[in-house]
Amino acid sequence: MTTIADRISIAQSQIAQAAQNCSRNSEEVTLLAVSKTKPITDIIEAYQAGQRCFGENYVQEGEDKVIALRQDYQDIEWHFIGPLQSNKSRIIAEHFDWMHTLSRDKIAKRLNEQRPKDKPPLQVCIQVNISNEASKSGVSPEEVSQLAQIIDDLPHLTLRGLMAIPTATEDVSIQRQEFAQLENLYLVLKQQYPSVDTLSMGMSSDLAIAIEHGSTMVRIGTGIFGSRA
């Protein structure tokens, strides 16, 4: 039977292979293990296999897991990657290290106010709606620079980069086009803000193309923890 540890090492070698194919250093790419809906025992198993960065999508579930594990696993880095309503922002500000899905100035300001002053700034990525689907969350490419400026002015947030969920398609040319667009936006932002070093894009199915286009963080759930109910 394949274990969580096996699947993490498979994901790590896929990252290494993809990085090698485009002459990048695989250490530039972080594996984010997406543990949404999975039990704490799975997170501990992944931790024991060396995994340190975990992504959660649901505010309440994420809070419960952070609280349950923070004492014994202090070096876990918790990433919030789900949609956030402004009335739940305090939970993210108080419990998470990273927030990948920031797309509104109002939420940025709330997170800044609610971030406990004894913690390091919340590390944030702006979510970009690269597919331009009205149903998807995220700012349009044109709106990135305005939101980036607002975040950069907030002392309890650190702007780290961009995140995107591209169009769900098997069409590699559409994937490439979207990733290339995101890469360009990222490079412009990085020139403007020294704190920017993160491009959160790529999942199991499109990891290689994402890495080819500069991804520094790939988010993998099912590939590590198995399918969700």
Ligand X SMILES: *Cc1c(COP(=O)(O)O)cnc(C)c1O
User: Residue with the closest Cβ to ligand X?
Assistant: 221
Q: Where are the beta strands (DSSP E) in the chain?
A: 30-34, 53-56, 77-80, 98-102, 122-128, 157-164, 198-200, 217-220
Q: How many residues bind ligand X (CB under 6 A)?
A: 12
CB 20 within 8 A of CB 26: yes
Helix intervals (H) in 96-206:
105-114, 144-152, 172-192
Q: How far is the CB of 202 from ligand X (least distance, A)?
A: 9
Q: Note the residue count of the chain.
A: 229
Q: Does 149 bind ligand X (CB under 6 A)?
A: no
Q: Does 220 bind ligand X (CB under 6 A)?
A: yes
- Given candidates 11, 19, 34, 147, which one binds ligand X under the rule CB under 6 A? 34
Binding mask 198-217 for ligand X (x = CB under 6 A): -----xx-------------
Q: How far is the CB of 88 from ligand X (least distance, A)?
A: 16
- Given candidates 95, 115, 213, 219, which one binds ligand X under the rule CB under 6 A? 219
Q: Which positions ≥6 away from 95 have C-beta within 8 Å?
A: 62, 63, 66, 67, 78
Phi, psi of 201 (to 5 degrees): -155, 150
Show contacts with ligand X in window 42-71 (CB under 6 A).
Answer: 57
Give the separation between CA 195 and CA 162, rounded to whole angstroms: 12
Q: Does 184 bind ligand X (CB under 6 A)?
A: no
- Given candidates 48, 146, 149, 222, which one binds ligand X under the rule CB under 6 A? 222
* Cα distance from N-terminal residue to C-terminal residue, the chain: 20
Phi, psi of 190 (to 5 degrees): -65, -35
Q: Does 165 bind ligand X (CB under 6 A)?
A: yes
Q: Which stretch binds ligand X (CB under 6 A): 118-126, 137-145, 152-160, 220-228?
A: 220-228
Q: Which stretch binds ligand X (CB under 6 A): 18-26, 46-54, 177-185, 219-227?
A: 219-227
Residues that bind ligand X (CB under 6 A): 34, 36, 57, 81, 165, 203-204, 219-223
